Structure 1
Amino acid sequence: MMACQGLQSGESVASLKRECDNLKKKLEQERGKLNDVELHQLAEKIEVLGSLSIKTRRVLKGHVNKVLCMDWCKDKRRLVSSSQDGKVIIWDGFTLNKENAISVPCTWVMACAYAPSGCAVACGGLDNKCCVYPLSMDKNENLSAKKKAVALHTNYVSACAFTNSDNQLLTSSGDGSCALWDVESGQLLQSFHGHSGDVLSLDLAPSETGNTFVSGGCDKKANVWDMRSGQNIQSFENHESDINCVKYYPSGDAFASASDDATIRFYDLRADREVAVYQKDNIIFGASTVDFSLSGRLLFGGYNDYTINVWDVLKGTRTSVLFGHENRVSRVRVSPDGTALCSASWDHTLRIWA
């Protein structure tokens, strides 16, 4: 009854749905008219990349269950990881030492992020909350006693990221929304509604202003948002299954999405369309995570068949496969200076490749 009250005479919910579908088709046709050339066709004259010798240089062992997320500190040395064992560990990537271990009151700590200053970490998971823990050099200090509960969703927290300062935190959740929070007060600054299923991943635009971010979810959509207005400014629905991870290109003009449909797709925001698909017939397992090299020429994709595939972004070809993990790769992240890659896995370990 409520839904039908605002209808004009001669209108029904079914007729409005039909109109909506027709408008969507028209939009796709208009997008199709601009679809002049694929990325790999433009890159035909560019030299092929030589073989890469990327090897495991460090193995970080300390978790006793699936490692679900990790993030680099801006100092290019320390890392934070979160696991299904209810632990968040701060690592020294050079010495393999564990600098801190935080016990979180729930298992499945699905999201973790380092603050830009390196003085705090955020983490969240199945308890629907995202908390910020200030870090200290005193190993005996109880960090759990100093935590700040910042974000509260009505379902699990799937991803979190600090904006360009320690003062604001962006979260995505299984309740189908993303939200921007003030760290100090825990106040909700802006909420973002537009997904019709669980939001599984988000990534902040790499510009200094950082006013946009992209999110991907179970509704197969990748949405670009304006953080100031809360508006969904671009939307892409090319995947055939859940989008597990989204990641901006280093320039901020494009982004990639990894999906359970075993493909990674690349979208140009200026052209408002998909410009490349990274897939092979012999890759049948879902892509769980994705990241770019510092130059943007390489794309690293972590898959459910325990491998990391390295793709040439311009050519669309696979340049190498990294073997080493013994279970699903849940996260890959290139270090801030671009010299190393860290991967987290359900085999309870993290690996640093270089």
Structure 2
Amino acid sequence: MPPKSDPELTALRKELEELYKNLQEEQKKYQDGTLQELCESVGPAPKVRLTTRKLMKGHLNKVNSVHYSGDSRHCVTGSLDGKLIIWDTYTGNKMQIIPLRSAWVMSVAYSNSGNLVACGGMDNMCTVYDLNNKDANGVAKMVRELAGYDGFLSSCRFLNDKTIITGSGDMKICKWDLETGRKISDFIAHNGDVVSISLSPDGNSFITGSVDKTCRLWDVREEKPKQTFFGHDADVNSVCFHPSGYAFATGSEDKSARMFDIRSDQQIAVYKPPSQNSGFTSCGLSLSGRILFCGSDDNNIHMWDSLKNQHNGKN
């Protein structure tokens, strides 16, 4: 039999929903327009056609995560085949293959310098490898195993070669000192699993997305959120900072993508495909921020003109 609901917990959840609703209503009072309304005079972006530049083959199972280094050329991919592969995306060549102790990879990260990669997932651990140092078998040497999570590792990002932040299924954000392998900070970030992390262009702050339907803005030096953003009706699967650093995009299970403005502290655009068949699992912005890309459960990449809020096709 299903467990009986706790009346006190039900009442608290109802109170929390009411608080969320009141906050959204207060935000709307100060909204003088949407991004689409304010950009009416802007010309439409040209149609985007995605073409395959390089098809990089090597993994034998589902690829769960991809992340680029700071040179925008090399990337790391993590797969359920139990391998990390470092790629030169200009040539399509494999630079290194790193066998993992656990195949259940959910997130990978490449340091901006290109010296380190990290991964983690259902093993409840973040493992860091030094690409410049190799063991006797010629494989990148593992330099740190960061343990101590009560849930799966969902996301990780290097702040620099000495510090990494991680998000996990225990609702926490952790910051680690890679030289000592010790936690610098460890705090509850959301009311549900932390699913995604995106660093700001200047590296001084980051955005988190969660199954609690919210996004939060953090200063890398603090353990309390600077802002909380509401709007989604389901899990926020992906967050991506705008290149300007003043906004960020999201992709959600509620079959929508959205744009939030940090300075006005609220949502400024909602992006929906012509046929809303499935949720969005990932999102990204072009270098200018003009085109929003979202990966969907319908096996397509959907695109929008982010200023005009026009669906720009799918691939």
Could you tell me the TM-score, scaled by structure 1's length?
A: 0.81
Q: Provide the rounded CA distance (Å) in 1 between the counterparts of 2:229 and 2:130.
A: 37
- 8 Å CA contact retained: 2:290, 2:306: yes
Which residue does 2:279 correspond to in 1? 286
Aligned to 2:257: 264
Query: Does the C-alpha gap of structure 1 residues 46 and 128 become closer, same or farther in structure 2, counting only changes over 3 Å?
Result: same
Q: What does the per-residue CA deviation read over 1:304-353, in whole Å, with 9 as the maximum and x for residues that have no partner?
A: 1111111101001111212xxxxxxxxxxxxxxxxxxxxxxxxxxxxxxx
**Candidates 243, 247, 252, aligned match of 1:250:** 243
Q: CA deviation at 1:142?
A: 4.2
Q: Does 1:110 pair with 2:103? A: no
1:334 is matched with none
SS of equivalent residue, structure 1 residue 224: strand
Q: Which moved more, 1:47-56 or 1:75-84?
A: 47-56
Which structure would you say has the larger RCO, counting Cα contacts within 8 Å and 6 or more residues apart?
A: 1
Structure 2 unaligned blocks of 5 or more: 1-7
Letter in 2 for 1:186: G
Letter in structure 2 aligned against 1:311: W
CA distance in 2, matches of 1:97, 1:85: 19
SS of 2:53's partner is strand
Root mean square deviation of aligned Cα: 2.2
Query: Residue 229 of structure 1: CA displacement?
Result: 2.0
The equivalent of 2:305 in structure 1 is 312
* Percent of aligned positions that are identical: 38
Q: Secondary structure at the match of 1:94?
A: coil
* Alpha-carbon distance, 1:273 to partner: 0.6
Distance 1:136 1:19, change over 3 A: closer
Partner of 2:77: 81
Residues 291 and 13 of structure 1: is their aligned pair in 2 closer, same or farther, counting only changes over 3 Å?
closer
Aligned 8 A contact 2:301 2:314 in 1: yes
Q: Supply the distance in 2 between the matched residues of 1:303 and 1:233 (Cα, whole angstroms).
A: 30
Aligned to 1:36: 32
- Higher mean C-alpha deviation, range 149-158 or range 262-271: 149-158
Note closer, same or farther for the CA distance 1:94–1:242 as it changes in structure 2 (3 Å cut): same
Report the counterpart of residue 189 of structure 1 in structure 2.
184
Task: Supply the distance in 2 between the matched residues of 1:25 and 1:261 (Cα, whole angstroms).
Answer: 17
1:60 partner SS: coil
- Matched-pair contact (CA < 8 Å) for 1:254–1:268: yes
TM superposition shift of 1:70: 0.6
Task: Quote the Cα distance in structure 1 between the aligned partners of 2:255 and 2:220.
Answer: 30
User: Which stretches in structure 1 are left out of the alignment for 5+ residues?
Assistant: 1-11, 323-354
Aligned letter for 1:117? S
SS in 2 for 1:121: strand
Q: One-letter code of the match for 1:218? A: V
Q: Offset of 1:257 from its aligned partner?
A: 1.0
Instruction: State the distance in 2 between where 1:320 and 1:19 align.
Output: 41
Instruction: Output one character per residue of 1:197-250: Cα deviation in whole Å (capped at 9) or x when no partner.
Output: 11111111111xx33211111111111122212001211221111111011111
Distance in 2, Cα, partners of 1:103 & 1:314 = 43
Query: Partners in 2 of 1:37 and 1:76 — Cα distance?
Result: 35
Look up the match of 2:56. Answer: 60
Match of 2:231 among 210, 233, 238: 238
Which string of whole-angstrom CA distances, capped at 9 and with x for unpartnered residues, describes residues 31-61 of structure 1? 1210221110111111112222331111111
Query: Structure 1 residue 192: deviation in Å?
Result: 3.3
- Alignment partner of 2:55: what SS? strand
In structure 2, which of residues 71, 76, 90 is the aligned counterpart of residue 94 of structure 1? 90
- Native 8 Å contact 1:220 1:237 kept in 2: yes
Aligned to 2:175: 180
Structure 1 residues 29, 256: closer, same or farther in 2, change over 3 A? Answer: same
Q: 1:202 aligns with which of 197, 204, 207?
A: 197
Letter in 2 for 1:276: A
1: CA distance, partners of 2:146 / 2:9:
39
Partner of 2:213: 220
- Where 2:123 maps in the other structure, the secondary structure is coil
Q: 2:144 matched to which residue of 1? A: 148
Give 1:344's aligned residue: none
Contact 2:118 2:127 in 1 (8 A): yes
Contact between 1:84 and 1:107, CA under 8 Å: does it hold in 2? yes
SS in 2 for 1:68: strand
Specify the code of the residue in structure 2 equivalent to 1:198: D
How far does residue 260 in structure 1 lie from its aligned partner after superposition? Answer: 1.1
Separation in structure 1 between the aligned mates of residue 236 and residue 13 of structure 2, nearest angstrom: 25
Paired position in structure 2 for 1:123:
119
1:13 CA displacement:
8.7
Tell me the distance in 1 between the aligned counterparts of 2:13 and 2:237: 28
Q: How many pairs are equivalent?
A: 308
Residue number in structure 1 paired with 2:294: 301
SS at the partner of 1:59? coil
Determine if contact 1:130/1:152 at 8 Å carries over to the other structure. no
